[in-house]
């Protein structure tokens, strides 16, 4: 078991190393001059000044020296300064991450909940009305580009009937105020309660459930209610669209997995034992059918981060996707490479957590 | 010469038969009709519309749908329907080319990784691992700074997109690699390359053809998305670009057709390709065929039904056994 995790950690580190190297070599391929991002605001003909900048940033060193300098900087988590925002890359990113999280996490949670419900109803019996409805829907919804759906919804709900706001994450003029101390206290209290419950009742579910619950409690305590409602009002439309395009795939996954589990021998055993169908369905079939969902959620967490570019653009949502798009359009390479690396790190971490959780819930994989 | 002729003839006949079977399949027919409409629109775009893409008519800008402009006009007075017809070209070119390239590259690397020794497997699997972790959309956004030509978009899509196909093919090849017919071919002295093309390729071909149709559809959506965020080829008209312009000015003026039509075009094309893909899966997958045959056999020989066997073993009538089975299948006994 330990060997497995060691291998997993090593391969994750290797992947991150490749991505860092890619970040180093990409600007040398994309731009005619790798120092291009550093020249923001410097006129074309100021050759002496450009040469000075190039020398100051080490672009005249041999490539291998530049490479190791770059590795050193990344390993000390120094991403430099964004040339467009004139601020440290970290500051710029940290002001955007919470907004992306609001969108990503809420749409993920709602899609999973509705996906499980719909998938369980459809997977209960093959070829029944809900099952057929799900299959037909999945054929149609995968062909609908979600950004177009977002556009149509914006036109319908924000312009024709002015139900929802069409841009931004908060009403203009508002700023989000957050009491950091209150957040930390609430978070710590809830986590402590969860850990105590785990130690007393010996069920690790409390830890897994405790983290999101504590985060939510912290936010509820630290952010004024009016602000939360305002953000929720602005997030409603983008989240609904994300849920609509995400829910069918989760439902399909649960449905397929339920049908696969129904054919397992232990379901036959459960039925042969004379258990009521309800118990067989919910305690044996349904619970086991949720296992593949763990892997899928872990994988899609990272995909949602990157894939939200379109939604964020349509709704002018101040998240990471929008930031990356602006960074690409402004040639702000310091920022875009940091975002790429951050997304990769999130993916690697999510994969790792997924693996851990999966092992926790499915003891069968331990034998492998 | 004669032999070549008959070979060619039989190959053509096989292809014709295959195409006919796609047309006979209800999903396939629907898909072929939808894609056919889009292909005709793309090829004959100049003949289907009296307008050109550079027919500026600013006085007639933002016009509502009318007899002259079936879907209205944009800010510069350019006909929207014309834009959609021309947009079909780039969508089809990028979708089909990328689908083919991804399938070819993915299939080759997938088979090589499964069949050609440990070193190639390790190299390819590591590349796949890296590609799976790299967030695709951001990488594409960064790489499209390289060049905004649509050829570059095809290249980037291919470089990033092959790993899914490769993984699928690899899994399939691994599952058939130890089958007797491959062993027999090895024992009779077939080279690895020969076996790869003669024996392994055909057994994964159904997956590849289906995958190709589905990835065409997927890359069309991706192309529309990328050109919507402004990373498409600025010199060609594309459906994503029409939607960008629509977002800028159609909302406030209530020009519904401008927003709905490009999306509907994307939907029709993508849906058509997906239907063809599903139809091909059902036609080509040997497992699905075998199931059908098995099913027929079972119903043809009721003497081998489980109920009959069960009834003969216990002292129960066949009807009772069938009733018991039905009760069991309906969800167990009332314990």
> Is a pLDDT exceeding 90 seen at residue B92?
yes
pLDDT at residue B286, as a whole number: 63
> Is a pLDDT exceeding 60 seen at residue B335?
no
> Is a pLDDT exceeding 60 seen at residue B192?
yes
Is A193 an 8 Å CB contact of chain B?
no
Q: Residue A161's CB: how many other CB atoms inside 10 A?
A: 8
Residues of chain B with pLDDT > 70, as a percent, come to 84
Per CB-CB distance under 8 Å, the chain B contacts of A15 are 129-130, 133
pLDDT at residue B290, as a whole number: 46
Q: Residue A116's CB: how many other CB atoms inside 10 A?
A: 19
Per CB-CB distance under 8 Å, the chain B contacts of A142 are 274
Confidence of residue B288 (pLDDT cuts 50, 70, 90): low
pLDDT tens digits, B36-89: 999 999 999 888 888 877 777 777 777 778 777 778 788 777 888 888 999 999
> Is a pLDDT exceeding 70 seen at residue B299?
no
Which of A155, A237, A305, A337 would you mutate first to test chain B, the one with the most B CBs within 10 A? A155
Confidence of residue B138 (pLDDT cuts 50, 70, 90): confident
Let me know if domain A98-175+235-318 sits in CATH 1.10.3720.10. Answer: yes
Is A343 an 8 Å CB contact of chain B?
yes
> DSSP string of A12-64?
HHHHHHHHHHHHHHHHHHHSSSTTGGGGTT--TT-HHHHHHHHHHTTTTS-HH
> Is a pLDDT exceeding 80 seen at residue B250?
no
pLDDT at residue B313, as a whole number: 56
Mind listing the domains of chain B with CATH numbers? 21-57+67-301 (1.10.3720.10), 304-335 (no CATH)
pLDDT tens digits, A11-48: 888 888 888 888 888 777 776 666 766 776 667 777 77
State whether residue B138 is helix, strand or coil.
Answer: helix
Distance from CA of A139 to the nearest CA of B (A): 8
Confidence of residue B318 (pLDDT cuts 50, 70, 90): low
Q: Which range scores top for mean pLDDT: A79-83, B89-93, B297-301? A: B89-93
Among B135, B246, B334, whose Cβ lies nearest the Cβ of A347?
B135
Q: Where are the domains of chain A?
A: 2-94, 98-175+235-318, 178-223
Residues of chain A with pLDDT > 70, as a percent, come to 92
Among the listed residues B246, B214, B316, B129, the one whose alpha carbon sits nearest the alpha carbon of residue A17: B129
> Is a pLDDT exceeding 50 seen at residue B298?
no
For residue A88, give the H/E element and its range: strand A87-88
> Residue written as tokens 């602000």?
A227
Separation in Å, CA A19 to CA A13, A345, B98: 10, 10, 24
Average pLDDT over residues A323-333: 83
B250·A155 Cβ contact <8 A? yes
Per CB-CB distance under 8 Å, the chain B contacts of A275 are 332, 335
Among the listed residues B10, B36, B32, B13, the one whose alpha carbon sits nearest the alpha carbon of residue B23: B32
> Is a pLDDT exceeding 60 seen at residue B325?
yes
């Amino acid at each position: 078991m330990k060997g497995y995790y060691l291998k997993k950690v090593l391969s994750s580190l290797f992947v991150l190393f490749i991505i860092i190297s890619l970040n180093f070599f990409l600007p040398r391929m994309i731009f005619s001059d790798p120092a291009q991002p550093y020249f923001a605001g410097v006129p074309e003909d100021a050759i002496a000044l450009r040469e000075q900048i190039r020398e100051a940033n080490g672009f005249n060193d041999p490539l291998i020296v530049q490479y190791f300098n770059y590795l050193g900087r990344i390993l000390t988590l120094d991403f430099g300064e964004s040339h467009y925002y004139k601020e440290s890359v970290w500051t710029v990113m940290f002001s955007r991450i919470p907004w992306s999280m609001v969108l990503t996490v809420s749409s993920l949670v709602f899609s999973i909940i509705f996906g499980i419900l719909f998938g369980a109803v459809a997977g209960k019996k093959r070829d029944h009305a809900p099952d057929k409805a799900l299959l037909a829907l999945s054929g149609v919804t995968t062909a609908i580009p979600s950004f177009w759906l977002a556009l149509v919804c914006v036109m319908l709900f924000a312009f024709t009937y002015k139900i929802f706001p069409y841009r931004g994450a908060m009403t203009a003029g508002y700023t989000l105020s957050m009491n950091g101390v209150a957040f930390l206290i609430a978070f710590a209290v809830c986590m402590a309660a969860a850990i105590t419950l785990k130690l007393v009742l010996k069920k690790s579910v409390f830890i897994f459930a405790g983290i999101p619950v504590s985060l939510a409690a912290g936010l509820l305590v630290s952010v004024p209610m009016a602000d939360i409602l305002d953000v929720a009002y602005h997030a409603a439309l983008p989240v609904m669209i994300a849920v609509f395009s995400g829910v069918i795939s989760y439902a399909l996954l649960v449905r397929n997995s339920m049908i696969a589990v129904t054919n397992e021998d232990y379901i036959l055993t459960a039925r042969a034992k004379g258990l009521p169908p309800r118990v067989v369905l919910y305690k044996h079939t349904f619970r086991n059918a949720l296992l593949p969902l763990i892997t899928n959620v872990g994988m899609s967490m990272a995909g949602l981060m990157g894939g939200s570019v379109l939604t964020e653009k349509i709704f002018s949502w101040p998240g990471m996707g929008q930031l990356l798009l602006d960074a690409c359009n402004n040639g702000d390479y310091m920022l875009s490479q940091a975002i790429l690396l951050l997304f990769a790190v999130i993916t690697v971490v999510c994969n790792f957590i997924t693996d851990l959780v999966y092992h926790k819930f499915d003891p069968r994989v331990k034998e492998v | 010469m004669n032999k070549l002729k008959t070979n060619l003839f039989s190959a053509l006949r096989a292809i014709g038969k295959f195409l006919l079977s796609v047309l006979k399949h209800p999903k396939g027919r629907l898909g072929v009709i939808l894609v056919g409409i889009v292909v005709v629109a793309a090829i004959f775009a100049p003949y289907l519309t009296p307008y050109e893409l550079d027919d500026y008519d600013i006085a007639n800008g933002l016009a509502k749908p009318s007899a002259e402009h079936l879907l209205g006009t944009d800010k510069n007075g350019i006909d929207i329907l014309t834009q959609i017809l021309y947009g079909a070209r780039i969508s089809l070119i990028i979708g089909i080319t990328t689908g083919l390239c991804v399938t070819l590259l993915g299939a080759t690397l997938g088979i090589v990784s499964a069949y050609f020794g440990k070193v190639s497997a390790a190299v390819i699997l590591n590349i796949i691992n890296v590609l799976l972790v790299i967030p695709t959309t951001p990488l594409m956004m960064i790489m499209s700074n390289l060049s905004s030509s649509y050829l570059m978009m095809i290249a980037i899509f291919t470089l990033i997109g092959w790993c899914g196909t490769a993984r699928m093919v690899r899994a399939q090849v691994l599952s058939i690699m130890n089958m007797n017919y491959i062993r027999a071919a090895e024992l009779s002295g077939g080279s690895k390359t020969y076996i790869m093309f003669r024996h392994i390729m055909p057994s994964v071909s159904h997956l590849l053809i289906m995958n190709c149709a589905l990835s065409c559809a997927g890359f069309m959506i991706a192309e529309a998305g990328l050109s919507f965020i402004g990373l498409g080829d600025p010199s060609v008209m594309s459906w994503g670009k029409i939607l960008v312009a629509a977002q800028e000015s159609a909302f406030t003026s209530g020009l519904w057709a401008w927003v709905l039509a490009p999306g509907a075009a994307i939907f029709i094309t993508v849906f058509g390709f997906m239907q063809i893909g599903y139809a091909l899966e059902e036609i080509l997958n040997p497992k699905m065929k075998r199931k059908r045959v098995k099913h027929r056999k079972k119903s043809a020989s009721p003497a081998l039904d489980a109920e009959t066997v069960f009834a003969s073993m216990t002292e129960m009538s066949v009807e009772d056994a069938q009733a018991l089975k039905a009760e069991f299948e309906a969800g167990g006994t009332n314990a």
